[in-house]
Structure 1
Amino acid sequence: MRRRATTMTVSAVTVAVLLLGLPGIVLGSFFLWRDAVDGVHRSAVTIMNAVDRRTTAAQPVQRDVVDNAVSSSSYAAYVFLRTEEGAIEAGRMPAGETISHTATGVSGARVTVAISRSDVVARIGYLAGLGAVAILVSFGVGVVVARWQSRRLSAPLIYLAAAAEQIGAGQARPRMKKSGIEEIDLVYEELVRTADRMAGRIAAERQFAADASHQLRTPLTALSMRLEEIEYLSDREDVREEAASCLEQVERLAGVVAELLSTSQSAAVGTEAVPLRKLFDQQRDEWERSFQTAGRDLVFDDEAGLAVLVSPSSLAQIIATLIENSLKYGAGTTRVSARKVGKGVVLDVADEGEGIRDDLTEAIFSKGVSTGGSTGIGLPLARSLAEAAGGRLELASARPPVFRVVLSAVPRSLDPDKILPAGSIISMGSRRRRR
C-alpha cells in the first residue's frame, strides 16, 4: 500500500514537473533571447531619434547621447555613432559573435549598437540551470510528500486491521482514533457497530447461561437429594438399586448441563436480510386464530416493502412479544405497520386499548416490571434483542399504546442475494405461542 501510494504520487509529481518545468525553461530562454535582440534595436532607435532631434534643433550632438544608452543597457553594450561632425564611440567592442543593429537618421547619421552573443547565451544557461535546480527540488519535495502521504494512508489501514483483530480476539469494542479519512472512518464505524452487536449477543448468551444454570441446576439438585433419600430410607434392595441408577443418570445430566453452559455452545444466529412481508405472513399465521377467538382484528401493513438487516429469530421474537402483549393487555384492532424512514425501517405495533399508566412509561422495559402479574421479562428481552441487532425498541406513545422498533434496511436498489450469501433470505416457519 505504501509503495503503491508513493509510486502514484511521485509519478504525478514527475509528470507535472516535466510538463511545467521544461516548457518553462524553453519559453524563458526564448524570451531572454528575444529581449536581448529587441533591446539592441530599441537602443539604436533611441540614440538615432535623439541625434535627429538635436540636429533639427541645430544643437551639437554630444557624447552623453551614447553614454546614456550604454549605461541603461542590461548587457555590456558597444555603441558607434557617426555624424557630419565626426564619430563618437562608447563601450568596448565585444569579442566573438555579437548581436547588433544599425539605424540611419534623416540627417544621414548612422549608429550601431552591439552586445556579446556569449553574454546572452550565458544568461540563458543561468536560467536553465535555475530551472533544472527548481525541477530537482520540486521532485525531491514530491518524493517527501509522497512518502508522508503514503504513511498517512497506510497507518489507519494498519490500525483498522488491528481493530478487526481485536474484535476477532473477543474485545467488545476496538480502540482506534479517527484518521480523518472519510472512507476509512466509515469502515471503522461499521466495525464498532459490529462489535457492539457482538457484545450484545455475548451479553445475552451469558445472561441466558446464568438463567438456565439457575433454572436447571436447582431442580436437578432437588431431584438428586430426593433420590438419595429414597436410596437411604428404602428397605427394599431393588428400590435402592433403581434409586442409585437414577441418581447416576441425574448426576450425568447435571454434568452435561454444566459442560454445555460453561462452554457456551449455543448456536449464534447471524444477521440476515429478512423480508418484512414473509415475517408478517408468519406472524399472521401464528396469531390470527388467537385474535379471532378474542373477537379482535389483527392487521399487518407493509408500506416499506423492504428487507431489514437483523437476526430472523430475534425479530420474530420481538414482534411476537409485542403482539402477545397487545392481545393480553390491549383492546380493539391491533395494527402492525412498517414504513421507511431515512435509511431505516420503523415497525409500529399499536392497538386501541387504554394504554400504559404514566408511572410505568419509563420502567416498562425494566426486568420484573409488569402490569398483569407476568414475569416482566418479555419487553426487556425484546429491547435487548433489538439493540443487539443494531436497532432500538421504544414506547412511541402511551395512550393509545404504540411500541416502535427501528431497524436498518436494505436499499431497494440493492439485491439482498448479491450483498449477502445465498440462503440469507430465510423462510420462517411457524413457532409455538408462549404460554
Structure 2
Amino acid sequence: MRRRLINSTLAVVLVVIAVFGISLVIVESRTIESSARESVQSDAVQLVGVVENRIAAGEKVSPAALARQIDSDRYAVVRVPGQAPITLGSPPKGEVIQAHDTGAHGESAAVEESRSVVSRAVGRTLLVILAVALLAVAAAVVLAVQQARRLVAPLVDLAETAERLGSGDPRPRHRRYGVPELDRVADVLDSSAERIAKMLTAERRLAADASHQLRTPLTALSMRLEEIIATDDHRTVKDEATIALGQVERLTDVVQRLLTNSRDPRSGSAVAFDLDEVIKQQMQEWRPAYRGEGRLLSRSGTRGLRAVGTPGAVAQVLATLIENALMHGSGAVSIHTRVTGNQAVAEVTDEGQGVPPDLGSRVFERTVSGRNSTGLGLAVARDLAEADGGRLELLQQRPPVFALFLAREGAERTQDGRRGPDDDGTPSVR
C-alpha cells in the first residue's frame, strides 16, 4: 500500500508538471521571441530618431555617434541620403530577427539579431523550469513518503489490534492517529474490545459460578449414592434413592437457573415458599457427611416461616453455608431461624475459629479465601441471595455467624426461641 500511495502521488505530480511545464515552456518561448523582436524594432526606431535629430541639428551622422544606440551582439545598417551606408556590428550567422524603420528625410535603419540569442534565452528558461520541476518532484517524493507512513503505520497498528482481539486479548489500546477515518475505526475497535472483555468476563464468571453451584448438589448426590452402596436394607436403599432423585431435580433446577440468568440476569423467579421445608431438605442431605465427621448439625428458632425468594437459590445458599461450616469450621453447627421486622432470617453458626480479622470485610469478595479454597462459594451465595431481593451477611466473625435475610410472607405458626429437634422430627445426630 505504501508503494501505491507513493506511486500515485508521483504520478499526479508528474502529470501536473508535464501539463503546466509544457504550457509554460511554450508561453515563455513565445514571450522571449516576441520580446526580442520588439527590442530589435525598438533599436531600429531609435537609430532613425537619432539620425533625424542630427540631420535637423546640422550635425554629421557618423558610426561613432550611432554605435552606442544598439547592443554589441546586433548588426545594423543605416542609410542616409547623400552618404554611404553606415554599418554597426558584425553580420550575424544563420537565421536572424530583422527590423526596419524609415525617417521623414529618407533615412532608414535595418537591425538584425541572430536567432541563436533567442534560443539561448529559451534554453536558460527551460533549465530554470526543469530545475523547479525536479525540486517539485523531490518535494512530492518526501511528502508522499511521509503521507504513506502516516497512513500505513496506523493501518498496521489497527491490524495488530484486530489480531489481538481475534487471539483473545480484548484490552483496548486507546490510540488515535489524527486521521478522522482511522480514528473512527480505532473507536469501533476499542468499543468492540470493551464489549468482548465484558462478554468474556461474564462467560468466565458464569463458568466459575456454574462449576461451584453444581459442585455442592453433586457432592450431596454422591453422598446419597455412597449411602446406597454401603447398605443392604432395601427400605433404606429406597429412601435414599428417593432423596437422590429429589437432589437430581434440584440439580436440574440449578442448571436451568444458570441458563436463565445467563440469558437475562434480570429475570427473577421469586415465590412464596416454606422456609422449614428448604432447611429440612438441606439437613437431610448433609446429615450423612456430618455423621461421618462425628459432628452435630441441629436446628433451632422460629418455625413455620414463609419467605419470598427462589427455593432452589435459597437451598444453594444454605448448602454453601453448611458446607463451609463442615469444611472450615469445627464443633456443632446450628441453623437458627428468627424474625426481624418483615424479614425472615436463617443463621448458620459453628464452634470454630471463625473468619480471620483481616478477611472480615472481604469475605464475600471473589477469590478471597482464608483456607486455600477458590473463594467463590460465599460470593456466589451472596449473588444468589441478592437476585431475589434478599441479602447474605456476616454478623459475627468468631464464632462465625452467617445470616440469610429474606422477605417474609404471612405470620409464623409457632415461635420457639429454644433449640428444637431437627425439622424432620428427629433429634440432631452427632
TM-score by length of 1: 0.51
Q: 1:166 to 1:378 in 2, by over 3 A?
A: farther
Which residue, 72, 76, 79 being the options, matches 2:73?
76
Alignment partners' CA distance in 2, 1:242 and 1:138? 97
Q: 1:137 offset after TM fit, Å?
A: 4.9
1:40–1:113 Cα contact (<8 Å) kept:
yes
Change (3 A) 1:109 1:171: same
User: Which entry has the higher C-alpha Rg, 1 or 2?
Assistant: 2
**Corresponding residue for 1:109?**
107
Residues 1:78 and 1:160: Cα distance change in structure 2 (over 3 Å): same
Contact 2:173-2:190 at 8 Å conserved across structures:
no
Aligned partners of 1:81 and 1:112 also within 8 Å: yes
1:266-323 deviations in whole A, cap 9, x for unaligned? 8999xxxxxxxxxxxxxxxxxxxxxxxxxxxxxxxxxxxxxxxxxxx65xx66x78xx
SS in 1 for 2:105: coil
Please give the residue correspondences for 1:14-163 in structure 2 after superposition, counting only pairs within 5 Å. 14-61=14-61, 66-70=66-70, 73=71, 76-83=73-80, 88-139=86-137, 141-163=139-161
- For 1:267 and 1:115, the matched residues in 2 are separated by 103
**Structure 2 vs 1, CA of residues 23 and 227 (structure 1 numbering), >3 Å: closer, same or farther?**
same
**Distance across 1 between alignment mates of 2:175 and 2:63:** 79
More moved, 154-163 vs 23-32: 154-163
Unaligned runs of 5+ in 1: 270-312, 322-327, 329-366, 369-373, 380-435
Tell me if structure 1 keeps the 8 A contact 2:50–2:66.
no
Query: How far apart, CA to CA, are the structure 1 residues paired with 2:105 and 2:228?
Result: 150
Deviation at 1:37? 1.0
**1:31 CA drift (Å):** 1.1
2-structure distance, mates of 1:376, 1:59? 127
After superposition, where does 1:202-281 map in structure 2 within 5 Å?
202-225=200-223, 228=226, 234=231, 236=233, 239=236
User: Within 2, Cα distance between the matches of 1:44 and 1:222?
Assistant: 126
Structure 1 residue identity aligned to 2:188: E
Q: Is the Cα–Cα contact under 8 Å of residues 154 and 177 in structure 2 kept in the other structure?
A: yes
- Residue 360 of structure 2 corresponds to none
Residues 268 and 189 (structure 1), Cα distance of their counterparts in 2 relative to 1, 3 Å cut: farther
The SS at the match of 1:178 is coil
Q: What is residue 410 of structure 1 aligned with on the other side?
A: none
Per the alignment, residue 169 of structure 1 pairs with 167
**Corresponding residue for residue 393 of structure 1:** none
Report the Cα offset of residue 185 of structure 1: 1.6
SS of residue matched to 2:198:
helix
Query: Which residue type is aligned with residue 215 of structure 1?
Result: Q
Per the TM alignment, residue 196 of structure 1 is displaced from its structure 2 partner at its CA by 0.7
For residues 144 and 242 of structure 2, the distance between their equivalents in structure 1, rounded to whole angstroms, comes to 78
Give the partner amino acid of 2:55: T
Contact 1:78 1:113 in 2 (8 A): yes
**May I ask how many residue pairs the two structures share in their alignment?**
273
Gaps of 5+ in 2: 269-307, 309-365, 367-377, 379-383, 390-430
Identity level (%): 33
Deviation at 1:41, TM superposition (A): 0.3
Which deviations, in whole Å up to 9, do the C-alpha atoms of 1:71-111 show, x marking residues without a partner? xx4x7122333335665443332223321222221222222
Return 192-201 or 149-158, whichever deviates more.
Answer: 149-158
Map Cα deviations across residues 215-243 of structure 1 (whole Å, 9 max, x no partner): 332343344446546765x5637846996
Structure 2: distance between partners of 1:149 and 1:378: 59
State the Cα distance separating 1:25 from its structure 2 match: 1.0
* Greater Cα offset, 236-245 or 9-18: 236-245
Supply the distance in 2 between the matched residues of 1:268 and 1:44 (Cα, whole angstroms).
Answer: 106
With 194-203 and 156-165 compared, the bigger mean Cα shift is at: 156-165
Aligned partner of residue 69 in structure 1, secondary structure = coil
The alignment's TM-score, normalised by the length of structure 2, stands at 0.51
Show the counterpart of 1:412: none
Aligned to 2:421: none
